[in-house]
Every structure is written in structure tokens, then in C-alpha cells.
Amino acid sequence: MNIESTLFIGYGNPDRQDDGVAWHILAGLSQKLGRRIPEFWDEPFPLGNEFPHMIFELQLNPEIAETIANYKNICFVDAHTGNIPNDIQFGEVIGAFQTNPFTHHMPAETVLALTKSIYKAEPKAFLLSVRGYSFGFTQDLSPQTAFLAAIAITKGWDWLESLTNN
């Protein structure tokens, strides 16, 4: 599958159990694409010549706007702690500057706003967010989140297939 100019960008802390669900989802999508999966979360996913590309970060930061500006389609992948009503949420993200009391956290909306402001680029963006249940000091997902991650991989795959039909 080669989807024109598409990027999955997962973020979270894989050493804090379900907070690292995005890495597991990117690994599952890579496997479905027949690609090599990095052995450790801090190794890059191979970008290669075919899309979609996949990047995993501990958190979103302003510098990622430059990378995002080079893509037409973006899918942010993250965990949530129940602050979103659905266990799995997939929806469009619109760029807007947002303030946050946590200085180490930058939401996808702000990254998109920076991308537009600095690079004059407006990729079509979505957020795939999966409920995390346990945030202990391990790289293994809780059984509940592992179950949801499998469903999220299918949602991500379905999104890719919808891009091929457009």
C-alpha cells in the first residue's frame, strides 16, 4: 500500500504501560504493511520510499511542525485517560492554538496551528486516541488497552484504505 504523502505520528511514554499504546499501534500497522518493526521504541520506524510514513515521539513539540508541513494527510495516535467519552476516538483535528497548564504537553491542534502559521501548510489531520487503563512502570499494555489497540489498528488501516479510494 502506498498512500500519497501520509504520516502516522504516535506519541506517549512506552515505559509507562498504556501511555505507550501509540507505539504498539504503529508497530501493528507496520506489520500489516509488511515492514520491519523497530526492536525498541526509541529506534525510528523505517521511512523508505513508500507511504505511509510512521514516526514515534515521547511528546509533540514545536519542531515537529516542520516535518508535518511536508505531508498531505496526518494521523496523530495517542492514549487518553478517560477524558474522552469513547474508548477509541477517531476524528478530524483542526489547527488552533491552545494553552495548557502542563508545559511538557502540546496538543495536536497547536502543532497544526504552528504548521499553518510558520510553513503555510494545512495537512488534513485526524486523531486516533485509545483509552489507557494502567500507567505503571512497564512496557506491556494492560489487557484492556491491548484489546483496544487491536481495534485501533483496524481503524487506522480502514482510514488508509479510505485514502486510496479518494
Phi-psi group of 34: left, alpha or beta (phi > 0 → left; psi -120 to 50 → alpha; rest → beta)? left
Bond preceding residue 38 cis, omega within 30 of 0: no
Residue range 88-101, pLDDT digits in tens: 999 999 887 666 54
**Prediction pTM value:** 0.93
Residue range 6-26, pLDDT digits in tens: 999 999 999 999 999 999 999
With a cut of 80, say whether residue 2 has pLDDT above it: no
- Distance CA(78)–CA(149), nearest Å, equals 11
| Amino acid letter, 41 | W
Residue range 70-125, pLDDT digits in tens: 999 999 999 998 788 899 999 999 887 666 545 447 899 999 999 999 999 999 99
Question: Smallest Cα–Cα separation from 52: which of 103, 10, 100?
Answer: 10
